[in-house]
Structure 1
């Protein structure tokens, strides 16, 4: 595998030339990444050249629709699913809400849904609310020390009445990467549908959704270098069961079924810019190939390796510091590059403020994982200090963060 050319990578992100961000090290990527250049170009061009109703008769209108269609197709190709299985809604939170309403019409009194207490609330709360429809909600609980989920615990939770399992690919606080393929296979064997929240994982490489085996897979484009949209992959068989959730007269238009508010035309059209960037990244580092799956696999590994090169040093520093407690696994091979810590003699907010003054962009709080923090005995009102990075982070950024922490502590 090729080593990541960081200079090339950063040339694809205008934020690194932005004066307001000069001399700042960005460690709040789990909240939202920088947008890549192709996305910004496409969005700007759409508003300048194509901002009329798409799919109508005028040539410009036809071109606008063509750009939107291309985004769906290229995202589908990289995720290894069919184009009709990709839905682009306003956000992952909104997408899960629509899904829950759809399942409310499918499930019957006494059916069971299993949720975790590890997830972001977007993939917990909407399912829990179905209790008012007579659905039984079961909780797959994390280990109260490690914050990790044990797949073996599902054996006692799943019954013949269990219809749905909702869990996260990777926690946005603990950052442990769950064995999604294993869990989905176990669920499928028990005739249980799966909804996987990939929001905290996808920025580190778009997954092969078919390989994972999930019935539904969700993530946020604004955390994967794109526009503020949520990507929702719903496999064909699952979509047929759930049915059209939009206007009845759009029943023959599958891509509208699960976006009842209608698409944000410009943002959808610009979404293909993420794949433009991934293709540029691939062609800069590897021999060109016409195989989309080969490109996707190589880019996924490239992003993973970039994280893994930087993660051990930061994990080691945090794990060994007497005034910090690491939340989640210390093994870099078992987690994403999202580091949550608890300071011992100051609040996460106080420590974050000291870091910000030193040019470290970071955040502190519960990050919508309130139930997880409660399970770990952490006060959600103060939460954790979260330091998250992606492939465009440099070794100099990591060194600067460690020096800033040392000073702040």
Structure 2
């Protein structure tokens, strides 16, 4: 059933909340999105009617749970244009990236190799590669940003060499909103024989991603950032690389045969999904993807682009406010990070909360990027499909009142 994005916010019960007596203006979607009633209903239905452990049982509840869980895997594969056996369920983007850094990097890194990441990475796509580099004794190198907050592709080209074994970067910066040219960067890396790992946490809920088109080797995202539950994530990996990659957690369900001294593992994806997986969360993820599809990418992308363009223009008009990242346009996703001169971001967020406006303040788990920007923290407003112009107006009005409160 096709949905109208103009009234989509009516599908999200939490948006009826009042915060400090004011309507909730939720602008922290880059941290987590709110959940539509369809997702809440899917979770409730699973627990009320289908709750059982998957794969192991031959009774009706177990069969229904297994069918639902594996059906979502097929749904995810179609959603990102991948093969079903290339989709692994994890706890989230962080887990997915750690599994690649632990289970894959250890298989391919050798002395003299180099790993390239970028200065705009979230810690979840930075610290695992620091650790991988230290374990393997290889060099970790960084791509810097230019004045507009975009990656310096000329420097990236200079860094790439026959020594480059792994390149890891974010599809969309969680601080700058920069949309990186994944397809171009992947080809450049492949041309020197490197593997490519992409953090898609800030991309998948905002525009269509296609694994065949991007051609990256691994891609990770989280359910809770695409209007689904927490505790469920996806790791895409090319089939031949998942065969090479080792699991990093061990237990039931992932094995063909266990003997006293050796174990034979199942092929991917089962060999990576040890123990009882987040079954209900997977069911909820499937409902979230169906909800997105009912609205459609053209409507979501056009709506969010219009919203961020309006927000950028209105924020830029506030005296003493500094915006970070590229200008509004095709290289910026649906978030804006800024600072109000003379007021700490935490104070900005606190005052905004008194007016019902929820934003994120701090270093956003991107401290090397904060250092590159010359700040210790920023304030971030991030948008989702249910936000509207009224939310933008409330944000800007609250910021003007914040300036008046602090007399800056």
Does the pair score TM above 0.5? yes
Which residue number in structure 2 is paired with residue 311 of structure 1?
308
Unaligned stretches of 5+ in structure 2?
257-264, 404-408
Mapping of 1:160-309 within 5 angstroms? 160-228=162-230, 229-247=232-250, 249-250=255-256, 251-260=265-274, 262-281=276-295, 299-309=296-306
For the aligned residues, what is the CA RMSD? 2.0
Unaligned stretches of 5+ in structure 1?
282-298
Which residue number in structure 2 is paired with residue 12 of structure 1?
11
Q: TM-score, normalised by structure 1?
A: 0.89
Displacement, 1:147?
Answer: 3.0
Q: Within 2, Cα distance between the matches of 1:261 and 1:159?
A: 40
Residue aligned with 1:210, SS: helix
CA contact (8 A) 1:85 1:236 kept: yes
Residue aligned with 2:30, SS: helix
CA contact (8 A) 1:349 1:364 kept: yes
Decide whether aligned partners of structure 1 residues 130 and 342 sit closer, same or farther in structure 2, where only a CA change above 3 A counts: same
Decide whether aligned partners of structure 1 residues 139 and 260 sit closer, same or farther in structure 2, where only a CA change above 3 A counts: farther
Decide whether aligned partners of structure 1 residues 279 and 377 sit closer, same or farther in structure 2, where only a CA change above 3 A counts: closer
Greater displacement, 154-163 / 121-130: 154-163
Q: TM-score, normalised by structure 2?
A: 0.90
Q: Within 2, Cα distance between the matches of 1:45 and 1:198?
A: 29
Q: Within 2, Cα distance between the matches of 1:22 and 1:47?
A: 34
Displacement, 1:261?
Answer: 5.5
Q: Within 2, Cα distance between the matches of 1:394 and 1:195?
A: 33
Q: Within 1, Cα distance between the matches of 2:99 and 2:184?
A: 27
Which residue number in structure 2 is paired with residue 288 of structure 1?
none
Bigger helix share? 1
Which residue number in structure 2 is paired with residue 341 of structure 1?
338
Displacement, 1:19?
Answer: 5.9
Q: Within 2, Cα distance between the matches of 1:370 and 1:38?
A: 37
Residue aligned with 1:81, SS: coil
Q: Within 1, Cα distance between the matches of 2:268 and 2:118?
A: 30
CA contact (8 A) 1:169 1:177 kept: yes
For these two proteins, the number of residue pairs brought into alignment is 387
